[in-house]
Chain A
Amino acid sequence: MRKALITFAPCPMPYAPCPMLHIRKKNMKAKHPMTITEKILAAHAGKKRVCPGELLNVRIDLTLANDITAPLAIKAFNEIGAKKVFHRDRVVLVPDHFTPAKDILSAEQCQVLRKFAKSQHLTHFFEIGQCGIEHALLPEKGLVLPGEVAVGADSHTCTYGALGAFSTGVGSTDLGAAMATGRLWFKVPESIQFIYYGKINPWVSGKDLILFTIGAIGVDGALYQAMEFCGETIQRLSMASRLTMANMAIEAGAKNGIIEPDEITLQFIQPRAKRPFRIYQSDKEAHYAGVKEYNTSKIHPQVALPHLPSKVKDVREIGKTEIDQVIIGSCTNGHLDDLRVAAKILKGRKIAPSLRLIIIPATQEIYRQALKEGFLDIFLLAGAVISPPTCGPCLGGHMGVLAEGERALATTNRNFRGRMGHVQSEVYLSGPAVAAASAVKGRICHPEEVVKKG
């Protein structure tokens, strides 16, 4: 049976989120069953049906670039001979990597973005003060909506799959072309279905589920493929956890990660959406290149060891591992929910004296909310330093670069050799609960060692 295709019809009022639900072709068996990824791509290529492997010229709803990738994309844009971007509301520039500018060269890169945004009259250029980490900022501002196609010159653009959009990372040349034409070619990816069922253990979040998954399939376990996350556990997951899971699809080599929109998605996106959107769901008979099932009651907090996100272990299996620095933040885990978990653990506690704790709210809004809810005070009293929103330390840029021989535990997404600084430094990855608890203990530990109940 074909699942209902729900359309949020264009509202009589332009740019007002439309609450009207239109259910089309309900209960009809799909003639050509497709996955959600295939349906979105087909709709954006003007086709009724697409198959994995097919090359499509796809209409793009939104492009994104940051202070590292935009300068090259703008160069490509100019070299193409383009004069105007395809749509000034749909080309987004977010200087978030080396900002607030860490040195003269970084400041000059930001200037390239600023000038381009001005000359092209871009609606969405986020200067620091309004800025945030791009993949937390765009969902927060309602700039990417379910059923859309978004491309970004940043590999973690796959994050928006959590909203039921097709979104993927591309290079700067592709992005330059997309900014100019509003189109890009894609090969339709095969989809793998990841079904999660069972109860969620205390202190387990989307980060643990995705680390566990990458550990199970490897860093190229979903190479060129779409990772479709589903199952009863996913349906219970918060938006923040879903964003975290889709965010790390790239760490398994995937083209995109995607979750079918449901009530939780709509609750999140409806107040934010400024244009109509459409919800797609996979047909029951859709073809998958593989199906993986995970019982989440067996998944406990996870940690990825250096130097690959797939070198994953249950936190209880890690021997005594002392750490020099803990980072809670990034596009993966800088959400308010993540800070809330950290605050719960750090409340009334002090971090180990041998250790540095850096906390980075992902956006200005998250920063404000964290302040309002008293999290920042808890962090400051615990001995943490709070950074303005930036990608900074995640890629060894600034705001917490590691020295030779140092070891960090971070809620970020990559732990490649030298990722956070010196080539002889080490990065361990975890969710915010393990990170906060480990900051108290000075070594990697299960949150239960610090707090009794989850």
Chain B
Amino acid sequence: MKLKGRIWKFGSDVDTDAIISARYLNQSDPKVLAKHVMEDERPEFPQKVRKGDMLLAEKNFGCGSSREHAPLALKAAGISCIVAKSFARIFYRNGLNLGLPLLESSEASEMIREGDQIRVNLTTGEIFNLTQKKKFFAKPIPTFMQELIKDGGLIRHLRKSSRLPEKKRF
């Protein structure tokens, strides 16, 4: 599976309050969330983000709260993939659970610039910078996760494998 998109670059420790402030969490409509995504970090982001755009960040992207509204807002705003040096763990799980591809690569995080055009191959982890003509490799996504992404997130994965409630255990 290949994706192509334009890069928005962010720094370290971008927290979930910065991605979507709690003042918008009295509801969970993805369209409403998308209108305010990243606005405290970069006020122009919600207006200027285009479908297919990608985020690039340094370490610990998505730290803080467990709000799934954060990856949901990014996905609804059209973000197709996030490449970072590292992700905070709850955000990482939430992103994948929603079928939002997340790749970890220190090199890509350092070398890719704002506005660069990037092509990402999710199967191989290859990240190709079409603007700079440079190739990077992300940590391969574990097989377990690949299946989850292939199924389109955790819900579809569960539906497919029909892992419904077990018999009474208590």
A residues apposed to B, CB below 8 Å: 55, 59, 68-69, 71-72, 75-76, 79-82, 84-87, 89-90, 97-98, 102-103, 105-106, 108-109, 152-155, 157, 169-174, 176-177, 180-183, 185, 219-220, 223-224, 250, 253, 255, 308, 395-397, 414, 416-419, 423
Contacts and interface: CB of A to CB of B under 8 A. Distances in A.
B13 interface: yes
B18 interface: yes
Q: Which of A68, A171, A250 has the most CB of B within 10 A?
A: A171
Contact of A177 (B40, B89, B98, B155): B155
A416 B14 CA distance: 9
B93 A174 contact: yes
Going nearest first, the 7 A-B pairs with the smallest beta carbon separation are: A171-B94, A171-B68, A105-B26, A395-B22, A220-B60, A173-B97, A155-B66
Nearest to B14: A416
B6 interface: no
A79 B66 contact: no
Contacts of B60: 219-220, 223, 253
Given A55-B144, A223-B86, A84 B165 contact: yes
Contact of A219 (B13, B23, B94): B13
Nearest to A77: B155
Interface in B3-57: 13, 15, 17-18, 21-23, 25-28, 40
A68 B67 contact: yes
Contacts of A155: 64-66, 90
Interface in B49-98: 59-60, 63-69, 71-72, 86, 88-90, 93-94, 97-98
B118 interface: no
7 contacts: A109-B28, A153-B68, A171-B67, A181-B163, A220-B86, A220-B88, A397-B25
Contact of A71 (B28, B88, B144): B28
A181 B40 contact: no
A121 to B, nearest CB: 14
Nearest to A105: B26
Given A220-B13, A253-B63, A173 B98 contact: yes
Q: Which of A85, A176, A220, A396 has the most CB of B within 10 A?
A: A220
B169 interface: yes
Nearest to A418: B40
Contacts of A102: 26
Contacts of B166: 86, 181-183
Contacts of A223: 60, 86, 88-89
B interface, over-half SS = loop
B170 to A, nearest CB: 6
Given A103-B26, A171-B67, 7 more contacts: A79-B159, A90-B170, A98-B26, A105-B26, A177-B155, A220-B13, A419-B17
Contact of B154 (A173, A397, A419): A173
Contact of B165 (A55, A174, A181): A181
B153 interface: yes
Contacts of B23: 396-397
A64 B163 CA distance: 20
B17 A89 contact: no
B158 interface: yes
B154 A174 contact: yes
B13 A170 contact: no
B1 interface: no
Contacts of B71: 171
Given A171-B66, A181-B158, A418-B18, A89 B170 contact: yes
